[in-house]
Amino acid sequence: MNIITGQIADFLKNYAPFNQLTADELTEIANNIRVVNLEKKQTLFKINDSLHDSFYVVASGVINISVIVDAEENIIDKCHEGNIFGLRPFFAKNNYKVTAKAREESLVYAIPIAVFKPLLANNSEVLNFLLENFASNLPEDRSSKGNLVSDGFYSEKQSEVQFFQTLAYNTTPLLATSDNTAQEVAQLMAESLKNNVIIFEKNGPIGIVTHADLASKIATGRYPINTPVSNIMSSPVVTVLENVSLAEAQLLMLKNNVTHLCVTVDGTDKSTIKGVISEHDLIAAQASNPGVLIKEIKRSLSPNELKEIRHRLTNLIQSSIQKNIPLTHITNISSEINFAILKRAVELSILELGSPPARYVWLSIGSQGRKEQLLLTDQDSILVFEDVPQNKYIEVKDYFLKLGKKTTETLEKIGYELCPFGHMASNMLWCKSLSDWIKQYNNWMNATRENTDNLSSIFFDYELVIGEQKIESAINNIVFENANNNSLFFDFLGNDALRKNSPLSFFKKFIVEEEGVNKDKFDIKTRALMPLIDSARLLILSHDIKGINNTYTRFKQLAIADPKHSEVYLNCAEAYLFLTKIRTLEGLKNENSGQYINLEELSKIDREKLKNALIPMKELEELIKDTFQLTQFS
Amino acid sequence: MLDWLKHINKDHPEFWKEYLAKFSKNSKRYVILATESTGDSLEKDVITYISAFAVENDAISIKDSFETILLQYRFLHDNHLSNEYIIESRLLKLSEPEALKTFVEYLGNGIIVGHQIEKDMTMINATLERLECGKLRNEALDIAIMHRKLHEIPEDKNFSLDELSDYYKIQKPEGESVTEKAYKIALLFLKLKHKLGLK
C-alpha cells in the first residue's frame, strides 16, 4: 500500500458515508481515486454534460453547485471539505442537471462509480446516505420553481426522496404506567415541555395521553384530576417500525386519525418502545418554512439544533431573495426567527442556571436591535436588571453575568460571532442594574463631550429579546427625555454619521479599498449603509418618534413626520433596501458578512443601480448639516 | 536518433527492446517522478528509492503509481552501512536490476515530470548503463522551469520544492518520504499545467 493511499483513506474515514466502511474497503476506494485540481472558477462539469464515470469528494476548497434559472446562475449548494457531489451517475442515465464550479482553488477526489457501486449492495445505510445527499442538492421549495430544470429533475427525485427520507423523531419518549394519575402525567409533560406520554405495560405500549386528552377529559371536568391515567388515555396506540419513511408515517396518521405514532422494535404493540413520532416531526421533515422554524426553535434543546435551524434560515433567505420576495418581508421574517433563536439561547442558559433572582431584560442592540440582520453577523446585546437591595446586588449581578456569558457562548456556537468591541451582555460594563443604565445614558447624552470613548451609536438601537417590557420602556423614556432639544448630543450623532468616508469620488467613481485582502472591493457597510443607518437614527431621535427601530421604516416614518423633505427620505428608504439586497447577495455568495462588494462581479445594470442608490445620501447629508448646524464638533 | 540505431545490435536486455518499441506512438500520460540517491556521484552513488504517480486527463491516478526501495547490498556493504530499516519496512523491495526493469516497464513512453529532473534522469541513466541499456528516451519536464516560464523569471533563479509548494498553496504532506515528494510534485504539476495551458 502506498503512503498516499493511506493518507487519502484516513481523510475519507472522517466523513459520511465513508465512515461506515471497513478499512479494507476504504483502502480499495483510495487506491482507485483520481486526484483532480481545480483552479478558481474552473468548471468540473456543467448542465447537460454527459455523465462522468465517477462521483466526487471535496479534498480542499469549496465547490459551488448551481442551476440556471431564467438565464441566471443560482447556487443551490456549496460543497466544503469532505462533502460529496456529482452523484447523478449513481441514480440516473441522462446528463448532468447542475453545474459544479470551484469557488476557490480546490482539490477533489474522483471516486469511480464502478468501484463504489459493489459496496452499496451490502451497505444500505451508505445507499440511503447517497440518496439523501443527492436529493438535498435541490432547492427546498420545489413547487415554486416552475421551470424546465426543476421539472425534469426535481419531480423525478421527489417521490424517491420521500420514500427514503427517514424521520428524525423523539427517541426518549415520556413513559408512564396505567396506574399513574392524570395529574402525575400532566406534571411530567409540563416539566419536560412535551405534549404526549406513552402509557406502557410490561414491555408494550398500551396507549398514549396527549394535550388533547387532558383538555377534553380533565379540563372539561369529566374526570377528576386524580383519576388513573388508563381512564383518559387514547388506546390502542398506533405503532410503527423504527425506520418508517415520511410518506408512510403521514399515511398512517391520516388513516387512523391520530397525531402521534409510537415506534417499537418490531412495529407491533407487543415489543419495546423506541420513540414517538409527532405531527410536528413530519412537518419539520418536509420543509423549512418560517412557522416550522420558529416552532422548532422553541423546542430545541442544544446550540447544535439551533445552529441547524439558523442554517436553514440562511437557505430560506437565499431562496426568498431569488424568488424576488420584497426584502422588507424577508427581513421581517428573518428577524422574527433570529429573535426566536436569541430568546431560546437565553432560555437554554436559564434552564441550566436556574431561574433569575430578579426581573431583567435582555436587549439586542445594533443591527439585531434594528431587526436588520439577514446574514450571520456579530452579536451585540446588553442586559438590564431591576434594582435590588445593596446586600443582594453582587449575587444578582453575578447571576446575570453568568447568564450573559453562557448565552453569548451558545450564540457563538450557533454561528453569531462575538462582538469584537465587547458590546455584549457578558461584559461587566454592559450588564448592570436599571439605575446604573439610566446613569449611563444620562452621562452619554448630557455630557457627550467627556464620554465619547465608550459611546457607540449602536446603544441607541435596542429591541427586547426576553424579559420585562417595563424595563425597556424605562430606558426608552430616558433616551427620549434626554434627546429632547439636546443639540450637543445631536451634534455628536450627526458628526458620527457624516464622518464615514464618502462612497463616490468627485468623478462619480466608486471609491474602493486601496490595500489589504479586500483591495479593489467596495466597502458597502461603512461607505453606504452605516451613513444611512446613523442618519436615520439621528433624525428619528430628533423628531421624537418612538418605537421604530428599523432603518427602512424609520425613513418611511420621517417622510410622514417631515413632509417638507419627504422625497429625500423616501429615496433613502429605497436606496437602503437596494444596498441591503446587494450586501446580502454578496454575503450569501461568499458565506461572510458581505461587507466588501466585488464590483467586477456585479452586472453593469446592478453597478449603475448601486451608483444611483448612493446619490440620495448626498442630499441626506446636506439635510442633516442644515438641520443640526454641525459646528461644535467638526 | 542514430545513436540508438548504432547500438541496436548490441545485446540489450529484452525489456529494453520492448521499452524502445513503445516510442512508435505518442503518449498523453505524464509520469511524475521522484527518486532518492545516496549522493551525486554517478560512479560511486546509487539510487535507493523510486516513486512515481501517473497523471492522465488532468488527474492524478493513485492506482497508476510506482514505488520501490532498491536493495543496494553492495553499496551498503562497501560503506559499512546497516540495512536494518529497509529490511523491516513493508514496502516493495527489489534489487537494482529488478527495480529498474519494473520501473522502465511502468514508465513506458510517458512524459517524465519532476523537480530538478536532470539529476534524477542522469542518475537513472547511469544505472541503466550498468545494466547494458541505453539512455531514457522520454521527454522530461521540470516544474521549476515551468514555474519560471509562467512568470518569466530569469533562468539562474532556482526554486526549491518547498518554495513552490508555498507559492501555489499546496497542503504540506504529513511526512518527508519520496512518495509524498512525488505526490507534491504531481499536485504542483496539475496547477502549472492548467496555468500554462498544456494539453
Q: What is the pLDDT of residue A136?
A: 58
Task: Indicate the pLDDT class of residue A166, thresholds 50, 70 and 90.
Answer: low
Residue B112 pLDDT > 90 = yes
Residue A289 pLDDT > 60 = no
**Mean pLDDT throughout A540-555?**
84
Task: Indicate the pLDDT class of residue A454, thresholds 50, 70 and 90.
Answer: low
Q: What is the pLDDT of residue A142?
A: 35
The cell numbers describing A425, all together, are 451582555
Q: What is the pLDDT of residue A479?
A: 85
Which of A56-70, A86-100, A125-139, A395-409 shows the lowest per-residue confidence on average (mean pLDDT)? A125-139
Which of A111-115, A232-236, A248-252, A388-392 shows the lowest per-residue confidence on average (mean pLDDT)? A248-252
For residue A501, how many C-alpha atoms fall within 13 Å in the half-sphere facing its CB?
14
For chain A, give the longest Cα–Cα distance. Answer: 84
Query: Which is more confident, A625 or A148?
Result: A625
Q: What is the pLDDT of residue B60?
A: 92
* In chain A, where the domains are located: 3-164, 175-286, 290-477, 487-628
Cβ separation of B173 and A110 shorter than 8 Å?
no
Query: Which is more confident, B129 or B10?
Result: B129
Strand partners, A78: A64
Residue A584 pLDDT > 90 = no
Q: Within the 492-551 window of chain A, which residues sit less than 8 Å (CB to CB) from chain B?
A: none
Instruction: Using a CB–CB cutoff of 8 Å, tell me whether B172 touches chain A.
Output: no
Cβ separation of B187 and A37 shorter than 8 Å?
yes
**Mean pLDDT throughout A187-193?**
86
* Among A31, A39, A107, beta carbon nearest to B62: A31
Q: What is the pLDDT of residue A108?
A: 92
Task: Indicate the pLDDT class of residue B199, thresholds 50, 70 and 90.
Answer: low
CATH number at residue B60: 3.30.420.10
Q: What is the CATH number of domain A175-286?
A: 3.10.580.10
Q: What is the pLDDT of residue B89?
A: 64
Angle, in degrees to the nearest 10, between helices A148-164 and A246-256:
70
Task: Indicate the pLDDT class of residue A488, thresholds 50, 70 and 90.
Answer: confident
Tell me, yes or no, whether B2 lies in a domain: no
pLDDT in tens, A58-74: 998 888 888 776 556 77
pLDDT in tens, A402-446: 999 999 999 888 888 888 888 888 888 888 889 888 888 888 888
For the ranges A119-123, A154-158, A380-384, the maximum mean pLDDT occurs at: A380-384
The cell numbers describing A615, all together, are 446619490
Q: What is the pLDDT of residue A323?
A: 61
CA A225 – CA A217 distance, rounded (Å): 9
Query: Which is more confident, A72 or A174?
Result: A174
Q: What is the pLDDT of residue A414?
A: 87
Tell me, yes or no, whether B20 lies in a domain: no
**Mean pLDDT throughout A559-587?**
87
Q: What is the pLDDT of residue A147?
A: 29
Q: What is the pLDDT of residue A517?
A: 78
CA A139 – CA A146 distance, rounded (Å): 12
Q: What is the pLDDT of residue A633?
A: 47
Tell me, yes or no, whether B9 lies in a domain: no
Tell me, yes or no, whether B8 lies in a domain: no
- For the four alpha carbons of B101, B106, B107 and B109, in that order, the dihedral sign comes to positive
* The total number of structural domains that make up chain B: 1
Cβ separation of B62 and A5 shorter than 8 Å?
yes
φ and ψ at B108, to 5 degrees? 55, -140
A370, A550 contact by CB (below 8 A): yes
CA A505 – CA A369 distance, rounded (Å): 32
Instruction: Using a CB–CB cutoff of 8 Å, tell me whether A115 touches chain B.
Output: no
Q: What percent of chain A has pLDDT over 70?
A: 88
Cβ separation of A7 and B174 shorter than 8 Å?
yes
CA B133 – CA B8 distance, rounded (Å): 10
Q: What is the pLDDT of residue A287?
A: 55
To the nearest 10°, report the CA torsion of B184, B186, B192, B196. Answer: 170
Task: Indicate the pLDDT class of residue A335, thresholds 50, 70 and 90.
Answer: confident
Q: How far is B82 from chain A (nearest CA, A)?
A: 24
CB-based contacts of B77: which residues, under 8 Å, 6+ apart?
A: none
Q: Which residues of B touch A42 (CB under 8 A)?
A: 194
Task: Indicate the pLDDT class of residue B34, thresholds 50, 70 and 90.
Answer: very high
Residue A565 pLDDT > 70 = yes
State the architecture of A3-164 in CATH terms: Sandwich (2.60)
pLDDT in tens, B47-105: 888 999 999 988 999 888 998 888 877 777 777 676 666 656 667 778 888 888 899 99
Instruction: Using a CB–CB cutoff of 8 Å, tell me whether A60 touches chain B.
Output: yes
Q: How far is A119 from chain B (nearest CA, A)?
A: 19
Instruction: Using a CB–CB cutoff of 8 Å, tell me whether B175 touches chain A.
Output: yes
Cβ separation of A42 and B194 shorter than 8 Å?
yes
For A437, other C-beta atoms within 10 Å of its C-beta total 23
Q: What is the pLDDT of residue A164?
A: 41
CA A49 – CA A52 distance, rounded (Å): 8
User: Per CATH, is A290-477 categorized as 3.40.50.300?
Assistant: no
| Domain region containing B95 | 25-196
CA A244 – CA A464 distance, rounded (Å): 42
Q: What is the pLDDT of residue A148?
A: 27
* Among A8, A39, A60, beta carbon nearest to B62: A8
Residue B148 pLDDT > 60 = yes
Residue B139 pLDDT > 50 = yes
Instruction: Using a CB–CB cutoff of 8 Å, tell me whether A123 touches chain B.
Output: no
Q: What is the pLDDT of residue A501?
A: 65
Instruction: Using a CB–CB cutoff of 8 Å, tell me whether B89 touches chain A.
Output: no
pLDDT in tens, A489-538: 888 788 777 776 677 776 777 888 777 778 788 888 888 888 888 888 88
Instruction: Using a CB–CB cutoff of 8 Å, tell me whether B62 touches chain A.
Output: yes
Q: Which residues of B touch A39 (CB under 8 A)?
A: 191, 194-195
Average pLDDT score over chain B: 84
Q: What is the pLDDT of residue B55?
A: 93
Of A523, A457, A531, the closest CA to residue A497 belongs to: A531
Which of A78-87, A139-148, A281-290, B72-81 shows the lowest per-residue confidence on average (mean pLDDT)? A139-148
Q: What is the pLDDT of residue B10?
A: 61
Q: What is the pLDDT of residue B33?
A: 93
Query: Which is more confident, A390 or B77?
Result: A390
For the ranges A241-255, A428-442, B75-89, B170-184, the maximum mean pLDDT occurs at: A428-442
